[in-house]
Amino acid sequence: MQGNNTEVRVLVIDDDIATLEEVADALEGFELEVYFATSGEEAVALARKTTPDMVITDFLLPGINGLDTIELMKEFIPDCTYLMITAHRDYCLDVVHEHSDSFFVAEKPISIDMMIFYIKSALKTIHLPYA
């Protein structure tokens, strides 16, 4: 989805193409500029070009994992909001405990309705529209 510069930019990272397609379908009704990556390295390179407002990532990715991907991104987009969707929720919560309101962790499996709830909550936290 492409749009003007006032749209919220969201980067979705998952190595499962079916999941990426499902997320794309779920976000279709929002006026968001959505980008997709299938690895942490690809996501970091794309984030440098697009400067997303929000990143949604899986924990287990080929190459660097989701937490390491987020740590790399925080160096150049510190104000971004991050949502990690993982089967390793407790581990991720322990690791990100020191992070502020800009980091959300959701447990897999996650329904599309619940994912949209998390996205709306995150957007509200960073005072962006669509919340």
In the chain, domain spans: 8-124
* Residue linked to tokens 């899986």: 58
Average pLDDT on 54-59 reads 90
Averaged pLDDT for residues 28-56? 93
- What are the backbone angles phi and psi of residue 118, rounded to the nearest 5°? -60, -40
Among residues 85, 70, 93, which one has the least CA distance to residue 119? 85
> Taking the alpha carbons of 21, 24, 28, 34 in that order, is the dihedral positive or negative?
negative
The span from the first CA to the last CA of the chain, in angstroms, equals 19
Question: What is the dihedral sign for C-alpha 76, 78, 83, 85?
Answer: positive
Q: How many CB atoms lie within 10 A of CB 121?
A: 14
Q: Mean pLDDT throughout 5-33?
A: 85
Mean pLDDT calculated for residue range 37-42: 97
- The highest-confidence range among 23-32, 41-50, 51-60, 115-124, by mean pLDDT, is 41-50
Q: What tokens does 22 get?
A: 């499902």
Model confidence at 126, pLDDT cuts 50, 70, 90, reads: low
Tell me which of 3.20.10.10, 3.30.530.20, 3.40.50.2300, 2.60.120.260 is the CATH number of domain 8-124: 3.40.50.2300
- In angstroms, the CA 107 to CA 85 distance is 6
Hunting for tokens 């999941």 — which residue is that? 19
Neighbours of 15 (CB within 10 A): 16
The verdict on whether omega for the bond into residue 129 sits within 30 degrees of 0, i.e. cis, is: no
Give residue-wise pLDDT tens across range 63-121.
Answer: 999 888 998 998 999 888 888 887 765 555 555 555 555 666 767 777 888 888 877 77
